[in-house]
Amino acid sequence: MVPTKNARAVNDPATPQAQKLPWAGLLALAMAAFITILTEALPAGLLPAIGQGMGVSEAAAGQLVTVYALGSLLAAIPLTAMTRGLRRRPLLLAAIIGFLVANTVTAVSASYSLTLVARFVGGVAAGLLWALAAGYAARMAPDHLKGRAIAVAMAGTPLALSLGVPAGTYLGAVIGWRGCFWLMSGLTVILIAWVLAKVPDFVGEPAGRRLTLRCVVALPGILPVLGVVLTYVLAHNILYTYIAPFLGQAGLVERTDTVLLVFGLASLVSIWAVGVLIDARLRALTLASIILFGAAAVIFWLWAAVPAAIYLASALWGLAFGGSATLFQTASARAAGPAADLAQSMLVTMWNTAIAGGGLVGGLLLERFGVQSFAPTLLVLVAVAFIVTFAARRHGFPVASVLTA
């Protein structure tokens, strides 16, 4: 099997297409990322309405988020491993159709159990899409723009977190929570048509070149990247999951939405900066991201009761986190080479493990030591991430001279 005409045009350095980013296709991937994150997080802003509509408690409604993450966690690695030989665009479309099914069933279902199953299916689709997205974006772009292509494809993530979730929560009060999920289904139908029109197809990985999971883990640079993902994202989710009680120290519980807006807007600046600089500055950007997160943690620790300091720290936190997914996925894709999709599935699994761990560790810290224990815990985790990143100077997060050698 050979690549399609569009795929050849993107990858042939003699063609004009090879000298610039394929914006239409990359923005379709960004839209897919937006729908993925919004599908996952939307119930969090609609818990009271969902609970009342389905006749369950808010805690039970919250499990719609849990089972989605569980689907991603369990499916990413095995599903990616099983589908490495399949053509890429049909596989991408299958993942997107998974969101269409999950959101449509959620919109019409009166059964809590059926809705849980639909959410699990959505999580499985998310695990597959996240494993595909970075490698897909990289294959669409010329070598000197692969990092920027991944940044564009990942732009939907901070947009969903900073704008999509608050907008969805507002719309829930206007058109109802079921209307929100119908709207998501409508967006997904548009995305399917967009992918068919603008996203090129690629062949799967040839059987003779497929590395085993153990071999991919053993590739130089993969373990450092996964270690940084675990510590960094765990630190982020301890704070993000329990941000409301943490803000209570400064009397800002009623301003949680404003604090998160500051975080979200700073995240958008971050992903723009990462997109511009990542191809030549992956290591420096990653170290800067970790340092900014550490600075935010210091401010959260020393001035936890000062509202102005909290807003400043939240902005630094957003600047640190906004481009982090792009940084980690780019580092993973570069370290894995042709095995990028399988490496990305490991990253997805590690990311979701850190999300679940953030809820667990943060809850234990909150119960045993109070919110004042959050900031020093973040500093410890961020310090480990910095040490691992700094040490991975040859593989994982290489210096420029090593990267171009």
d(CA 218, CA 396): 12
pLDDT at 249 over 90: no
Give the residue from 184, 209, 234 where a domain finishes. 209
d(CA 376, CA 246): 13
d(CA 239, CA 218): 32
Residues 6+ apart with CB under 8 A from 142: 10, 11, 13, 18, 19, 20
CB-count burial class (<10 Å; 0-12, 13-18, 19+) for 173: exposed
d(CA 104, CA 118): 9
Indicate the length of the chain as a whole number.
405
Same domain, 218 and 104: no
Give the residue from 161, 183, 209 where a domain finishes. 209
Per residue in 259-286, pLDDT (tens digit) is: 888 888 898 899 889 988 988 899 999 9
CATH code where residue 69 lies: 1.20.1250.20
Per the structure, how many domains does the chain have?
A: 2
Q: Which two tokens stand for residue 321?
A: 């986190």
d(CA 122, CA 277): 33
Same domain, 233 and 191: no
Per residue in 134-159, pLDDT (tens digit) is: 889 988 988 888 888 888 888 887 77
Same domain, 170 and 252: no
Same domain, 180 and 252: no
Q: At what angle do helices 256-302 and 324-336 cross, to 10 degrees?
A: 70
CA distances from 327 to 41, 289, 338, 380 (A): 22, 9, 18, 21
Same domain, 239 and 135: no
Q: Could you tell me the pLDDT band of residue 375, with boundaries at 50, 70 and 90?
A: very high
Same domain, 110 and 198: yes
- Greater confidence (211 vs 36) lies with 36
Q: pTM of the predicted model, to two decimals?
A: 0.80
Same domain, 218 and 153: no
For range 197-213, the mean pLDDT: 82
Same domain, 232 and 143: no
Give the residue from 150, 174, 209 where a domain finishes. 209
Q: Which two tokens stand for residue 370?
A: 């109070």
* Range with the poorest average pLDDT among 14-28, 144-158, 345-359, 373-387: 14-28
Give me the sign of the Cα torsion angle 257, 261, 264, 270: negative
Q: Which two tokens stand for residue 91?
A: 């596989």
Residue 370, CB half-sphere, CA atoms under 13 Å: how many? Answer: 5
- Greater confidence (328 vs 166) lies with 328
d(CA 365, CA 374): 7
Same domain, 153 and 27: yes
Q: Of all helices (H) and strands (E), which one includes residue 388?
A: helix 374-391
For range 317-327, the mean pLDDT: 91
Q: Residue 45: which domain range?
A: 5-209
Find out whether 154 and 33 touch, Cβ atoms under 8 Å. Answer: yes
d(CA 348, CA 37): 13
Find out whether 72 and 120 touch, Cβ atoms under 8 Å. Answer: no
Residue in the block written with tokens 């992918």 = 195
Same domain, 368 and 227: yes
Same domain, 194 and 226: no
Same domain, 204 and 235: no
Residues 6+ apart with CB under 8 A from 255: 247, 307
Cβ–Cβ contacts within 10 Å for residue 187, how many? 17
Q: What percent of the chain has pLDDT over 90?
A: 47
Q: Could you tell me the pLDDT band of residue 130, with boundaries at 50, 70 and 90?
A: confident
Q: At what angle do helices 146-154 and 324-336 cross, to 10 degrees?
A: 140
- Greater confidence (244 vs 276) lies with 276
